[in-house]
Amino acid sequence: MHLLETKVAHETTGWRIDFVGDDGEVVYIKVPDGHARSADEALEQAKALMVQLTAYGTRGGGRSINQYDAASNGNFNDDEPLLATFH
């Protein structure tokens, strides 16, 4: 998914943050009112959750190695070996 747009809306039970991809796919996160007082706080909460979720699709569900790795979109160079690759 290549992020095209982020929408933040307040609903009756809290905030809804939509992450919209360029192919029309949407991932949304609901942040309860008690966890965010503003749209900016709700967006930061949603971003933090998305970073935590990305580990489930990589490295067998392991945690990110460092802050740079956590923010990566995973487009590693094909000609470079992955970390901890032994021959």
Does 61 fall in a domain?
yes
- Contact predicate 27/3, CB 8 Å: no
Does 84 fall in a domain?
no
Does 65 fall in a domain?
yes
Does 80 fall in a domain?
no
pTM, whole model, 2 decimals? 0.61
Our count of domains for the chain comes to: 1
Confidence (pLDDT) at 12: 94
Does 76 fall in a domain?
no
Does 35 fall in a domain?
yes
First to last CA, the chain: 32
Mean pLDDT by groups of 10 residues along the chain of 87 residues: 90 95 92 94 92 66 58 55 51
Domain that holds residue 49: 3-70
Three-state secondary structure call for residue 16: strand
Nearest to 41 by CA among 65, 8, 69: 8
Does 81 fall in a domain?
no
Confidence (pLDDT) at 53: 78
